Structure formats: C-alpha cells, structure tokens
Amino acid sequence: MSNTGPLPGPDESTQESADTALRHIVDGFLRFRQDIFPTQEALFKRLANAQNPRAMFITCADSRIVPELITQSSPGDLFVTRNVGNVVPPYGQMNGGVSTAIEFAVMALGVQHIIICGHSDCGAMKAVMNPETLERMPTVKAWLTHAEVAKKVVTENCPCGAAHDTLDVLTEENVVAQLDHLRTHPSVAARLASGQLFIHGWVYDIETCEIRAYDADAGDFRPISQDAPLPMATPKPRYSPR
C-alpha cells in the first residue's frame, strides 16, 4: 500500500459552519447563565437534590419537538425520553434506555401520567413507509422494526389516498402501537390495573400547533381543546390500589 499522506481535513467553509453552530449553542448557555438562571435561582435550588415530575413524556428525537415548550413546562415538570420514532420496545425485547427510563419513572419517581407523543412530518415514519432509504443505516432500520405493527395495520386497513394521508395515519397508528407496547411493561401494567397510572397518546402538528389525543373508547384521535373532555388512552382499572 502506498503512503498517500494524511487524509484531507474539512474545507474552510465546512469548518466555519461547524464553528458557528457550536458558538450559537455556547452563546445560548452563556445567556442562560447570565440572564435566565438568576431569575429562577430559587427553582434550581429546590431541584438541586430531588425531582418530582408531573409526567413522563416519551417523544421523537426530532429537533423541532421541544416538550417543555409545547406544554409550557418548567424544569422538573417532565421526565423526558426521546428517540427516533417515539418508540417503546415491548418489555423484554430490548432492556435499553427506554425500558429503563419507564421503570425508573414509574417505580422510583411515581409518575402518574405517561404521554407518548408523535408528530407531523416524522422522518422515522417516512422511513417506515420507505425502508429502502435505511440501507446505509442498519441500526435505525433495526430500531424501527418496533413500528412495523403500525405499518401492517395501515397497509391492510387504510384506504389512504395521497402519501401525506398515509403518513398521517401511520403516525397515529404508531402511537397506538407504542401504547400497546407500553402496557407490556410490568411496572406499567400493575399500576394501570390499580388505577394509579394514566397513559396518553398524542400527535403534535408542527405547523398548526394542534395536538390530537387518542381516545381508547372511541378508537380515534381527537383534538385537545378547552371545550371538550380530554381524550384518554387509559384502560379501566380492575383493582383498587393498596
């Protein structure tokens, strides 16, 4: 093998772009430390040694989805888990970060609500529809097998017309599928059965800011609004809490 010398590094424009992106993030932190933190210092002191979140929020890693912004939550309010496609692997198949976070949220933190939130224009769902786009990303492809049940449901039952209609329906069905997976986790199943835990399936529309929530009784997604009861995905409890 001939000695070709060191590999070329990034060109100047690429390096400049990378430096600018990082500088923006660092400048943001410095503004937070100087301008925001002092106004909320009492809150952070309370949070320094304990957390008591209102809910667990499982959503997509998509950079456009910011759970705290969408729900206007403060630090300490949400126990957030993010991954490609807002996936919840069935219990026992993959004891990784998502399963660990669920068990910790339920058993250690005692959260009473778990929200699984999909979103419009989801790249993960587009990939599920077009798996050939994942040939160079085998890890992502393997991960998204957890959404195959949603794809099968849509393929065999949805009279969808345009591709965007199929994407919307698949996004909803994926949330329903992940809710089903969530219920296989023993810690979740036990507290659902006693009425100590409530689960919710949402789809957030980036362009309109609408959230549609899954209504298990109706088998449909309905908009969240002030004028109607909140749609619920929680099954009816079968036992009284001890």
- Rounded Cα gap, residues 53 and 193, in angstroms: 22
**Domain match, 133 and 197 both:** yes
Question: Domain range for residue 44?
Answer: 12-50
**Domain match, 151 and 172 both:** yes
- Rounded Cα gap, residues 185 and 147, in angstroms: 17
Q: 200: closest CA among 58, 101, 79? A: 58
The angle formed by the CA atoms of residues 104, 61 and 186, to the nearest 5 degrees, is: 30
**Domain match, 130 and 46 both:** no
> Considering 23, 31, 46, 64, which one is annotated as catalytic?
64
**Domain match, 77 and 46 both:** no
Instruction: Give domain status of residue 42, yes or no.
Output: yes
**Domain match, 36 and 124 both:** no
> Considering 117, 119, 183, 212, which one is annotated as catalytic?
119
pTM, 2 dp:
0.90
**Domain match, 129 and 27 both:** no
Find all residues with CB under 8 Å of 25, minimum gap 6, and list them: none
- Rounded Cα gap, residues 228 and 192, in angstroms: 24
Is 181 in the active site? no
Q: 189: closest CA among 118, 92, 97? A: 92
Is 62 in the active site? yes
Which tens digits make up the pLDDT trace of 205-233? 999 999 999 999 999 999 999 988 999 99
Which tens digits make up the pLDDT trace of 188-208? 999 999 999 999 999 999 999
Q: What percentage of the chain carries pLDDT values higher than 90?
A: 82
> Considering 117, 122, 183, 191, which one is annotated as catalytic?
122
Is 64 in the active site? yes
**Domain match, 118 and 183 both:** yes
Which tens digits make up the pLDDT trace of 108-127? 999 999 999 999 999 999 99
pLDDT classification of 73: cutoffs 50, 70, 90:
very high
**Domain match, 34 and 72 both:** no
- Rounded Cα gap, residues 58 and 98, in angstroms: 9
**Domain match, 41 and 130 both:** no
Buried b (16+ CB within 10 A) or exposed e, 112-145: ebbbbbbbbebebbebbbeeeebeeeeeebebbe
